Structure 1
C-alpha cells in the first residue's frame, strides 16, 4: 500500500502587494539562537570564476537565465526585482518573505557561507524567511517550512513541527498541506496514527482536485 506524500517545495506565483505587518520573529537555530539572514546577493552578471573559465558564452548565458530569468525589456532588471522583493520582505510582507525564501531555496538568490563560498542553494536562509511569514499565518510559508522540517533541510528534522505547520496551512485550505496531514495521520508520523482523520483530510484535498489525495483514498478503499 503506497500513500503519496507531497515532498517537493511549493513555488507559489507571487503577486506582490503593499507592506504587511512587521515580522513577528526571526527563525531560530537549534539552541535558541536566532538565524542570521545574510544580505548576500550576486546579480545575474556575476558568476563564480571557475564557471567563467570553464563555460562558453552560450553556456554562461543559459545558466544566468536559470539563476534569474530575464523579463521583457519593459520589466525591471532581475537585480531590481530582487531588491524590491527583499525590501518588501524586510518590511514584513509575508508574500514577499515566502517568495524570497523560495529564491534562496532554489538558488535564484545566490548567497555565500561564512568563508565566502557561493552556495548552490541556501535552505537555512529559506527556512528563516519562511518562518517569518509562517508566524504571520501565511499558509504557503507554513507549508514550505513544514516540508523543510519534514525533510530536515535547513532546519533539524522534526516531524512533530512539520505536522503542526502542515495542519495550520491545511486549515486555511492549502490543498497539498491537507494531503500531507492525511499522510501523517495515516503513517502516525509526527502525530498518533488515525486512519479516520487521514481519510477526512484526503477527502478535503481530493474535493479540491488533488490527484495524490484521491489516489490515497483509492488505496485506503
Structure 2
C-alpha cells in the first residue's frame, strides 16, 4: 500500500505541474500580446509589441501581467501598464523588481526616471549606473541613453563609444541595428555611411522593426545608400504604417497624393491623389 501511495503522489505531481505551467504561460502570452515593448530584448521574436499600450487594454494588461509576474518580462510590462495608467508608484515598484531579475529594459526605464527626476529624486549618478548595466548587457536604449548622458557629471556625450557598443549589440538585436543605422546615416560618432546604414535598416526591417521599415521606405524612395525603388518604398512604408508608424503613414499619403496645391501665400490647400 505504501508503494501504491508513493506512486499516486508522483503521478499527481506529474499531472498537476503542467497545468500550473500552462496557466502561467497563458497569462504571459496575453501579457505579451497587449503590453510587450517592441524594443525589449526579452520580447519573444514572434511578438510584435506595441509602442504604447492602448487605453482600452490597460486594465487587461495589468491583470494578466500581474498574474504572470514571476517572469521578469511580465514585471517590466506590468510597469508599462501601470505607467500608461498614470500609476507611477506601482510602475516604479514593478520595474525595480524586474531590474532585480535582470530586465535591462526596466533598468533603462528606471534610469530615465532618475535622469529626469520623474517619480523619484533626480540622480544622474544612479541613472548612469542603470544605463551602464543595461548597455553592458547589450540593451540598445541603455547604450544610446548612456551616450546622451555622458561619461561624467560634466563630461560630453560620447557618440563614438555609443557606436562601438551598438555595433556589438547590432549583431543580434533589431533595435541596435536601427539605432546604429541612424548614427551611420547622420554621421554621428564617426564617418557618414549611407550604404552601411541601409544594410542595417534592412536587417532590422526584416524583423519588422517599425522605425527601420520607415527608414527603408525613405532610403528606397530617394535612392540613399542603394537603388531608388518607389514600389519597394511604398511596400516598406505600408508595413511600417500597419505597425502604427505615423511618419510612414504620412509618407504613404505623400506618395499617393504627390501634387500639392497652394494658395497665393504658399499655404497648402489640398493634395491631388492618384
- TM surpasses 0.5: yes
Pairwise mapping of residues 69-218 of structure 1 onto structure 2 (< 5 A)? 69-70=116-117, 72=119, 78-90=124-136, 93-95=137-139, 98-106=140-148, 108-111=149-152, 118-135=154-171, 137-218=172-253
- Matches of 1:88 and 1:210, distance apart in 2: 26
CA shift for structure 1 position 184 = 0.4
Contact kept? 2:197, 2:225, Cα under 8 Å: yes
Give the number of the structure with larger relative contact order, counting CA–CA contacts within 8 Å between residues 6 or more apart.
1
For these two proteins, the number of residue pairs brought into alignment is 154
Deviations 1:1-22 (A, max 9, x none): xxxxxxxxxxx689556389xx
Change in Cα spacing, 1:209 to 1:72, as seen in structure 2 (3 Å) is closer
Contact kept? 1:101, 1:128, Cα under 8 Å: no
Change in Cα spacing, 1:133 to 1:76, as seen in structure 2 (3 Å) is farther
In the other structure, the counterpart of 1:68 is 115
What residue ranges of structure 2 are gaps of 5+ in the alignment?
1-38, 42-75, 77-98, 105-111, 257-274
Q: CA RMSD in A?
A: 3.2
- Matches of 2:40 and 2:206, distance apart in 1: 21
CA shift for structure 1 position 68 = 2.3
Change in Cα spacing, 1:195 to 1:158, as seen in structure 2 (3 Å) is same
**Which structure has the highest helix share of the two?**
2
CA shift for structure 1 position 72 = 4.9
What is the TM-score with the length of structure 1 in the denominator? 0.59
What residue ranges of structure 1 are gaps of 5+ in the alignment?
1-11, 21-64, 113-117
SS state at 1:126 partner: helix
